[in-house]
Amino acid sequence: MEPGLCRLARGLHSLGLRPNHITVLSFFCSLAATAAFVAVAEPSLRGASAGILLLLSGLLDATDGAMARTYGQVSDFGAFLDSVFDRISEIIVYGSLVYSGLVDWAIGLAALSGSLMVSYARARAEQLGSEMKGIGIAERPERLLILIVATFVGQLNAGVLLIALLSAATVIQRIMHAKSAMTDVQRSDRQ
């Protein structure tokens, strides 16, 4: 675990916050970024405010898990809540980019669909016994980082298109990994 995240987790914990509180704060930062994409007209101010809010959301999203592990507060409900809020965040952020005309609707829809499928492929494969953590080139942190950079530099269409392409590649990687893992299990069951 990163020392910086541990320090942040300890600092927030000392304020009385718990992992689920951090998950909710991360979600509200995503909502605020969405509002910035939609309501701030001046491009450089929009990029700076939405970019900072997305960065803060991502930092908090990484911190909730670090806090849970550090303080022995890992729970199934916490993991569930984090996953649900992550998906809602992706939906509202990509939706706001399309709604505000900052991203072509087809590119936004492709990125959103790809992002949701990356998560679904992991959840379904893991439910069937195939470990997916670290499989694929565009997990949520990578996608969020691309979006943050694209927001700061004012290249949202290009950034979201890159997210769509890398998400599709990640889904394919996860399908191939799951097929391999599940085929190996079938072979060993037959022996």
- The residues annotated with a catalytic role in the active site are 86
Tokens 């969020």, located at residue: 144
d(CA 51, CA 42): 14
Beta-carbon contacts of 29 under 8 Å, excluding residues fewer than 6 positions away, are: 53, 54, 56, 57, 60
Cα dihedral angle (87, 90, 96, 101), rounded to 10 degrees?
-140
* DSSP category for residue 154: T
Cβ atoms of 66 and 4 within 8 Å: the answer is no
